[in-house]
A and B are shown apart, each in its own frame.
Chain A
């Protein structure tokens, strides 16, 4: 646990207000007010699933129970886990997925254009106030848009696509309030690794985590998504951020109509709502690194300067969005990675990569020595194309479980894209603040 941030806990008592989580659930359950602990049936506004959790599992089960999709307009299918196909088995899964998408006449299919959690908002599917489910554990990413979104398994997704409903138990809220400005080179990933180190992999205990304070309000949407995304690694059900003018600007930029933006519901946690509050000082946070084999093994970067990675990986929904690519390029501009380090970059979406190309960001990364990989989950999901026996990896991804990204001997250190870039440059795990100074 880092000593960098000051922590203060408060619990408001005898209150009558509601949290953001309560308000979102109340809307979906068509209630005026809901209490923590209530078990309710909610109407689902949007269900997202991908090539692994989706059609290959859902089709036979839907046939088995004799049901059809409740509303295909509310379903988004993304092909990101098994693309591009590496073998005959993956090819078969992709073929089934595409065939079923045609058969079901799904209007929203995003095929090989990026990772589900990034392309979903990029195509304007997430709106503030929505109640959504995703067939993937990083579905809390949607919480960055003031949306109640959580991950479920394929059988539970069957229930959703057959009925349009799902049960939820109203969670308590852990409110993470960040104050002040982050140091140059320190970013949302460092904030999140720090919080996971403090609370542990299941410290969120399937509660709602909410990120607030002027630091969070000052972050762009993709940085906010990184916070919400790794709420999964805290064991929270959702990672919520109240939608604001930054959210509206993003929605506008991805083509959501002004009418829809205005009709969306912008909830906030009431001042007198009952929740656990934790305060953090952003200016005192140093870059963070999580050692193998758990995201909770987090310490300040200085503790790891003796580690010499053979691979530096910038990838995943957590760590290869446009903002992440820009952060890496700022570090690597006009420089080359150290001898013996392989830098791999898998941009999280085709649109982010196109924008990064236009800005010269991809050029900088490639000139520094990066190999560019497809816009897919890649090595992070561990479904193929993983690292070799004995590799030491510094990675901008979300999980470093033993055996996830390759053989059990692979050592994965998690860090921000900026720290991954700085480490690739120096040949050892390095403090990005020194590189940028």
Chain B
């Protein structure tokens, strides 16, 4: 994913402790990601899945993504076109899953100062930061470079493809 500093992104706000059952409800887990995504977060706000546009950002309170290992929780946000999640903290398991699917998570202590509908920008491709509607920079924890590479590659599957192709070239 490339982050363009000029792009204004609409904020969708949710609260703290958003769990994976809210992101990818169990009742829809037997279906494909399109169906799961259509029910993403509906337990908290029914306008989200239908209203969110590609490039929007999701801003949450602490402990985002707690619960299950189901990566469809991150996959549903990716499917809906969410450019990044901005929250003060994440479940460690969700954190790995999101980057493995190429979804950028920004760990931002001041995330909760952002308002519903606010226009923000994500600036910087190596160490992304958030610029709020007033033009202030909200500092985010740095993301290890191998995880940023995963975001830029579009996820672990693409990284593995490159690795397998490389291996094949060298064993032929």
Contacts and interface: CB of A to CB of B under 8 A. Distances in A.
Given A93-B30, A383-B27, A67 B96 contact: no
Contacts of A39: 144, 146
Interface in B26-85: 26-27, 29-31, 43, 62-63, 66-71, 74
Interface residues of A, number: 49
B161 interface: yes
Interface string B124-164: 00000000000000000000101000000001110011011
A137 B71 contact: no
Given A152-B96, A153-B93, A135 B161 contact: no
Given A235-B92, A294-B17, A404-B21, A53 B160 contact: no
A202 B20 CA distance: 13
Given A155-B100, A202-B66, A408 B43 contact: yes
B19 interface: yes
A159 B160 contact: yes
Contacts of A52: 29, 70
A424 to B, nearest CB: 25
B89 interface: yes
Contacts of B6: none
Interface string B1-32: 00000000000000001011110011101110
A2 interface: no
B68 A137 contact: yes
Contact of B62 (A139, A202, A403): A202
B119 interface: no
Interface in A114-144: 134-137, 139
A89 B27 CA distance: 11
A401 B161 contact: no
Contacts of B91: 202, 206, 235
Interface string A369-413: 000000000000111101000000000000101111000100000
A61 interface: yes
A153 to B, nearest CB: 3
Interface SS majority for chain A: loop
A5 B99 CA distance: 39
A53 B91 CA distance: 18
A21 interface: no
B97 A65 contact: no
B101 to A, nearest CB: 6
A201 B163 CA distance: 36
B92 A237 contact: yes
A216 to B, nearest CB: 23
A403 B92 contact: no
A64 interface: yes
A137 B95 CA distance: 13
A136 B20 CA distance: 12
A59 B92 CA distance: 26
Given A381-B26, A401-B19, A404-B26, A202 B164 contact: no
A206 B95 contact: yes
A421 to B, nearest CB: 26
A434 B105 CA distance: 49
Interface string A24-35: 000000000000
A403 B63 CA distance: 18
Interface of A: 39, 52-53, 61, 64-67, 82, 89-90, 93, 134-137, 139, 150-156, 158-159, 162-163, 167, 200-202, 205-206, 232, 235, 237, 294, 381-384, 386, 399, 401-404, 408
Across chains A and B, which 8 residue pairs bring their CB atoms closest together, nearest first? A206-B92, A382-B26, A153-B71, A153-B97, A202-B63, A137-B69, A151-B69, A89-B30
Given A158-B157, A404-B19, A404-B26, 11 more contacts: A64-B161, A66-B168, A134-B69, A137-B93, A139-B69, A153-B93, A155-B155, A156-B156, A162-B160, A206-B95, A401-B21
